[in-house]
Amino acid sequence: MKGTYLGEFEEIVLLAVAMLAGDAYGAAIVTEIEQQMSRSVNLGAVHAALHRLEEKGLLSSRLGGATQERGGRSKRLFTVTMAGTRALDNIREIRNRMWNSIPKLT
């Protein structure tokens, strides 16, 4: 398993997978990120991030059933692993601690 350092985009992709709770595949992740962040996202960039996150052990994937709308091809569905959940919890804790450490201007 590679290191668990996450760049901003990897963190966003990991959060989107967690939000989609079992129905996370490339196009759905792109849509979720675009809705949440009001910014365009490249499907290829999402797929690259998914691959890196899976290599790091933060995601797992499986093939879903083939669908007619996809020409008989299966979707690769992603889920957050326990390590991924710990990584997200750790990131949130660090960010909250840092935000809370900003001196209040009066």
Domains and CATH numbers, the chain: 8-99 (1.10.10.10)
pLDDT at 4: 64
pLDDT at 34 over 80: yes
Q: How far apart are CA 13 and CA 16, in angstroms?
A: 5
Percent of the chain at pLDDT above 70? 90
Q: What is the mean pLDDT of residues 18-27?
A: 93
Q: How far apart are CA 78 and CA 62, in angstroms?
A: 7
3-state secondary structure of 60: strand
Q: List, for residues 44-90, the tens digit of each pLDDT value.
A: 999 999 999 999 999 999 998 766 666 667 889 999 999 999 999 99
**What mean pLDDT is reported for the chain?**
90
pTM recorded for the entire structure: 0.86
